[in-house]
Chain A
Amino acid sequence: MSVTATTAETQPFGRRAKRFMTDYPLVPLIVLLLLLVLVLNIMQPGIVNQRWIANSVKFAIPLALLAGCQTMTMLTGGIDLSVGTVATMAAFFVATQAVDNPTAVAIVIALVPALLIGFANGIGVGVFRVHPLIMTLGTSLIGVGFLQVYQRTVIASGAKVPDSLTWLGTGLTWGIPNALLLFVPVAAFLIFMQRRTGFGRLLYAIGDNERATRLAGVKYWQVILALYMLSSVLAGIMGLLYIGLIRAPSLSLAEPLVLPSVAAAVIGGTSIFGGRGGYTGTIIGALILTVLTTLLTILQMPEGARRILFGAIVLLVTAAYLRIIEER
């Protein structure tokens, strides 16, 4: 029965490597990204050129925007699965409303459902404490229902993607995607919000230790409500951009991007348990996934394999992350 004492031998290198990873999470991510690009170039020499880069960035931006929603919500330990529906609704609304309305009006109308869904999510999660996953899945289901009803009412009037959105989503200026005009300010705003505002501070703190924020006088529901509304609006903006890129409104426009958006945030170092991560990592995560998708396409991997891979990434990264936390 005697149990021999096991002395906890510290492994200086492993420890230091881990600490380095947590202090500078971006470095290994960038290395991984470059590595993938390198592999790609080896497999298909010459593919990596300016046009390919511009194209990849163009497709990475919508993903990065949706992943921004996941980053923000994941910082508090939540998740937002309604972003796909919200983005689709915004896209569909703007395309149909632009037929009879000026683009600006159409855009405002398109963002209304986003606000409503965000509000419902915030109330459900913040006040009723429904698990964010279930809540956002539920509102997403309702949103799809609305979209279907709406589709029937506008089926006669047809759809038209405003030129300005097409220009923004698809256009290139001197070989640089115009979408960056939207993305750079949005990304700057998100990063500033996370790092330099009281709201951002609360997101991290709530995800880290909700109890502690409560004791510090923070009202959870206020933060959560604002968060999910912000997340929804961001998803709506992504929908506007995405319709400019895809140029064909459909009822499942942005849905396939939901899982990759979660994966991008997770790869980017944002913890699904909350309190850690940031948007910079997510952007690189989105780029990595875009390159990875190209790679899988070249390898002729079917869609199913891609889903399995992304699902496995989420699970493995999360489990690995849990180990890192527990060892300290």
Chain B
Amino acid sequence: MIRLLVEKELREIIGSAKFAVSFAVCSLLIILSFYSGATNYKNTVTQYEAAKRANFRQMEGVTDWFSVRNHRIFLPPQPLATLVSGISNDIGRTIKVEGRGELDAVDSRYNDEPAFAVFRFLDLEFIFQIVLSLFAIVFAYDAINGEKEQGTLRLSFANAVPKEKYILGKLIGTFTSLAVPLLVPILIGCLLLPALGVALTGSEWTRLALIILAGLLYFGVFLSLSVCVSALTHRSSSSFLLLLVVWIFAVLIIPRASVLLAGRAVDVPSVDELASQKIRFSSQLWKEDRAQMAAFKGTSSDPMKQFEEFQQMMQKQNDERDKKMQEFSGALNEDRENKQRVQQRLALSIARISPSAVFSMAAASLASTSLDLKDQFRNEATAYQKSYAAFIKAKTGLVPGGRMVVMRQEIGGGKPKPIDPYELPAFKYNPQSTRDALNNSLFNLGLLFVFNIIFFAGAYIAFLRYDVR
């Protein structure tokens, strides 16, 4: 019986002109998202390599390591970010490393290409979140009440058809006839990636498969929700309207409202507030040090020795100032981060009412483009800054950064040799491991599954009570 009903759904949906048109549009968009993702990735790789080369080029001709002042590290493009951009286009991709002090990521993708900030990128996440959820509604909003309006429900139930088998067949049939054909353009898209020069590692393929799974679960949520609403109403126009309202809330309102609500509930000091406090404190420290510098009196009459003493004093001041600054900034940052974490957690918890937000979070976690990406890049940069400082200290005897006076003395009149920038320790970004990404997405994947179960059960119960006349 279930098989017969599944076959009927397959035949009815796939044979309709509505399916042919919608499927063609969805397939085109899916393939386009893979294609544009792949070309974007190649462009960002080119930009990334060019930026790295430019970084080394600006060091050319520099003859001592102490004069290296504008060393930058870059967030390498992540292949999966092209399919699920998450926050990867919003956060800064470049960090200036000085050896000490706070690190700020600048030059986001949207900063470089503001037009994309207006219209955003067409990625796989967008296709699933917006297009395919609507696709599910368009095909399932009249799954039950449409059959009633059509008169076929009455004729079907004039036969010995158990209601539970009918609804099960309906759900399986609708899902199979809509979700399985969607796998075709997705598979074509997957094949396009290596063909267009995007080489994914085994781990990235696994993550991509899980992103697609999350997408199908999300699709299933809207499908079972549509069948449920269709079994709760008697007119297809009512169910369509109701589902449209639910879609607007789930996709557009709840995720945004959750951020607003969390912002109201938890007060987080702004970055500007913190920056001005840090500047005030730094100026105060600098004022104290300047007074000390003004009062400097060397122990030797030899100007070179005096300069060395002065430099040592400055280095000491720098170290102490840096330490105080780090403590002060650390306390401020920690306080802000704690509050921000609470705010984020609250926002994400509220947003989880919406399957759309849950899917977004799951997909972004799997693509490593969630909110964690910012922390991951900063942590990697902080670790790099330490190795950079150690390298410069090994070369010059001093930790770079801060304020100091450098005196260059040429002995013997020979031309100094330029430094080799490639000696610098290379910045190697370690993306989140697959296990971590999976752990972070597991809750959201589970939640999508629970949404499916809830709406499936809703559809089942509603249909058992449905008047088929």
- Do chains A and B interact in one complex? no
**Chain A residues in contact with chain B, CB under 8 A?**
none
**Chain B residues in contact with chain A, CB under 8 A?**
none
